[in-house]
Amino acid sequence: MRIETKALVVALRPHGEHGAIVRLMTPESGLQPCYVRGARGKRLRPVLVPGNLVEASIVSRTDTQLGQGTIELLHSRGPLLSEPLPAAAIDWVCALTATALPEGQSYTRLFSALEGLLSAIEAAPSAHGWGASLVRFELLLLAELGFGLDLGSCAASGSTENLIAVSPRSGRAVSAAEAEPYGKKLLPLPAFLSEERQARGWDEILDGLTLSGHFMDRDLLIDRSRIIADARQRLIDRLRRAAGIA
């Protein structure tokens, strides 16, 4: 088996004296692990940073054998790791991708969304520029894994107007009129998710992350995947500090 493709580095685990098992998110072949010789050496260490775009060649004798990877840098996002908020965002989305997705399955839309999100973080380190994209990425990943939300119409009335909340049980939208009796038992539905626009403020971004976070905690961040939840909490804490919320 041979795969030659551009890819996003999403995780690295030391293996042996100088090598590492690297997880790459590819456009057509999904999540691909490979062993990279010298991964922790001077030349490759700055290349194999989560979030970097690389050119990868992965070769293995069989479909079940761990491939040997050769990696060349196409674009580095390493400088962002010195900025706390972008660094936390890159750490989280890469850890989520590497942990939640099964290996070897094509997720073309997720690759495009991840690449776009990383580019948005790079272009505008303030979360005002990419907060909405982060929420959409989390919701897309849930949908691709079979846990999609239905935000197009009200679960009770079928109305597509004035949708303001989401049922924490069914994942379906609820209109303002139908939501009133339930008070705070429902999750907030920020307007940017139904109006296809960027978030207008910190409140909308944090409401979106509360929404996606509820369903990820319930459906994805369980068992062994729970270990990455701390990366998301670090990001939320930094977003709240940026918003001036204690």
Chain segment 45-90, per-residue pLDDT in tens: 999 999 999 999 999 988 778 999 999 999 999 999 999 999 999 9
CA separation, residue 172 to residues 32, 120, 204, 207 (Å)? 33, 29, 18, 16
For 117-126, what is each residue's pLDDT tens digit?
Answer: 999 999 987 8
Kindly report, residue by residue over 83-117, the tens digit of the pLDDT.
999 999 999 999 999 999 999 999 999 999 999 99
> 81-242: same fold as 2-76?
no
SS3 content of the chain, % helix, strand, coil (to 5): 45, 25, 30
- Per-domain boundaries in the chain: 2-76, 81-242
Fold classification of 81-242 (topology level): de novo design (two linked rop proteins) (1.20.1440)
pLDDT band at 246 (very low <50, low <70, confident <90, very high): low
Distances (CA, A) of 127 to 69, 120, 173, 202, 241: 34, 9, 25, 8, 12
- Closest by CA to 103, choosing from 33, 53, 51, is 33
162, 208 Cβ separation under 8 angstroms: no
135 within 8 A of 212, measured Cβ to Cβ: yes
**What is this structure's pTM?**
0.94
Pick the CATH number of 2-76 from 3.90.700.10, 2.40.50.140, 3.90.76.10, 3.40.605.10: 2.40.50.140
